[in-house]
Chain A
Amino acid sequence: MTPEWLLKNEAYTPRLDRDAFIDKSIRTFLSLLSRIRSRTGGAQRKAFIDARVKLVSLLLLILLTSLSHRLLFVGLCGTIVLVTLSLSRGEVILDILKTAFAVAGFTFVIFLPSIFWGNLVGAVMVTAKVLICVAVARFLSATTEWRTLTRALGAFRIPDLLILVLDVTLRYITLLGALSLDMLYALKLRSVGKNRDKTGSLSGIAGTIFLKSRVMAEDTYAAMECRCFTGTYRAGRLPALRLTDALVLAADVAFVCAFGFLGA
């Protein structure tokens, strides 16, 4: 039998409460999921440069920038990064530079005491190196589909099983992120008044996500076993390199030579 209170409309005037944390959390998750989807969606244009070549170039640039003692060479690296960035879309450039300048700015602040002791060049050098390394790492992440990036690791003799673990991790970040977002929506919809235990609600969501991740991991393992998984996994291989990739590799060689002449 339907209880009497359900038969009447509620005469309810909501009490005010601070609940910006739910909206902020929702925005954070939405932005995270949107970023992941844009880099794992598979609907992207065909990559202009192979992920393996990008990875080699990135590692070279970071290594040689870090090793160099000459401001001229670091300036050359900075120029290369700027030219590379200029090939991207405006919002990608902005996103990369925001992160890079934030990290470099923090580094500069840490080095402030050494500037007061007269080490201006050293502080500028380290800050510039951090700026370059972070910008180039963000560039790789922003312009390369993550799935191809994990495949590219195979070229560096990274075990296939580790590549599988990375792929599964990326997938579960998306799935659990979507579940977290739905739970935050549910919390928002039922937050119709004053919540005295906001942290309790959020920890409830975190706990549920933790339990869900455990169940999903067990299910995935069971599904893999059912498909004859015996502990070995062969990751898919990327296609052969093209002319553009060869040109980038040639530029890498030239870059190493430049390090020999200018940087060491």
Chain B
Amino acid sequence: MIHLRNVSYAYEGCEALCAIDLDISRGESVAFIGPNGSGKSTLLKLLNAIVLPDNGSYVFDGESVTRTSLKDQTFARSFHQRIGFLFQNPEAQLFCPSVEEEISFGPRQMGCAEEVVAGRIEDCLKLLDIAHLAKRPPWHLSGGEKRKVALASILALNPEVLVLDEPMNDLDPRTKRFLRELILSLHGAGKTIICATHDFRYVEGVFKRAVVFSEDHRIIREGAYDEVTSDEVFLASDNLI
């Protein structure tokens, strides 16, 4: 479903990704692991076409994602509907006056009937266990609640691929466990999950594959998640434990 070939990207001359080759199939659950500044978040942005490769190619479900292809509104919007992105800082994703409106923003844009929108709001509130927050302004919520609302607002679009950037950051253990179960059930529902993480303990059993980044912004290892995360010598050498 996702194919990256020899992808490189630099921020104003500062290298962030170097010669990345990666294939992700439909329905996979993949964890990106790597030290701070290794390029995980940049790759997630690239998968969502927030940034585009300086070199190399990105193909999503058989279609090249390029500056030119994104100028085609139909392609760009369909692409953004099919791939949902939870930012590392969920605060940046919340711009509506209430949680309810935040969740309804996407479905309303898609032209869903009002009863469908109402149904999705209710389902997402229930799924994320935030029904009691429906009328609250997102700004006044706690960090964990904001993350749940941001995730709900993405799920309301029903994307096929969920891209999560450090979803366990700043969460208390109970919320981490809740989020772990939720990711598992979304994966069970057929969603492709791509997630950058440091938090090995709370994502145990969630991912089938791990992709490891080095400090020089390259992929240095790919393999079964359990196998990679149990190789303590390797993790220590890459500044991961």
Could you list which residues of chain A lie within 8 angstroms of chain B, going by C-beta atoms? 2-3, 5-10, 12-17, 19, 34, 37-38, 179, 182-183, 185-196, 201, 204-205, 208, 211-212
Contact = CB atoms under 8 A, between A and B. Distances in A.
7 contacts: A6-B155, A12-B110, A14-B77, A189-B48, A191-B77, A193-B77, A194-B111
Contacts of B74: 13-14, 16
Interface of B: 12, 48, 50, 73-74, 77-78, 80-82, 84-85, 87, 89, 91-97, 105-106, 108-111, 119-120, 123, 127, 139, 153-155, 157-160, 185-186, 188-191
Contact of A192 (B77, B189, B191): B77
B109 A9 contact: no
Given A185-B50, A208-B139, A193 B110 contact: yes
Contacts of A196: 108
Given A186-B87, A192-B80, A192-B109, A6 B186 contact: yes
Nearest to B97: A204
B111 A3 contact: no
Nearest to B48: A189
Contacts of B157: 10, 190, 192
Binding site secondary structure of chain B: helix
Given A193-B109, A204-B95, A5 B12 contact: no
Contacts of B185: 2
Given A14-B77, A189-B80, A3 B123 contact: yes
Contacts, number: 115
Q: Which 7 A-B pairs have the closest CB atoms?
A: A14-B77, A182-B92, A193-B109, A204-B95, A3-B123, A186-B93, A192-B81
Nearest to B159: A10
A15 B120 contact: no
Given A189-B48, A189-B50, A182 B78 contact: no
A6 B158 contact: yes
A182 B139 contact: no
Contacts of B89: 179, 182
Nearest to B71: A23
A60 B101 CA distance: 57
Given A6-B127, A183-B95, A186-B87, 8 more contacts: A3-B119, A7-B189, A12-B78, A12-B110, A14-B110, A182-B93, A192-B78, A211-B139
